[in-house]
Structure 1
């Protein structure tokens, strides 16, 4: 199950984790969930996005991060909305 936003997040998440992981350990789980979403079917997406919303505080972007971090959260948020709308 891959769409353009999820593809973008999957490309960025490992980079963001490497750069910000020490100060934002939640990025490890964000990367893992993003990869699971990219590799899974639509049936699992709802639960994975629910966990992603919990881990990210509803995709709240911390104030001390780079544009790639923000772009990752925004792409995931758009992918979540697209999946919810399609359901």
Structure 2
């Protein structure tokens, strides 16, 4: 019995470590980056802060990203029409 336990425990630990590595990889892609949060806190508008308070960081960052994207495309469009 002790022999089976001595053989099984390293395999269980190895499979657990591999499983946790896969979980960590998925979470790394889903998680909010620290730089994004800092930028949000520095440049957020009142409606984005209300979204942070009411719906959480995910929704607030979504609104912030949409505003930044539309602002960049709006600026590009304005440059193209002027030039």
Query: What TM-score do the two structures reach when normalised by structure 1?
Result: 0.29
* Larger RCO (CA within 8 A; separation ≥ 6): 1
TM-score, L = length of structure 2: 0.30
Rg comparison, structure with higher value? 2
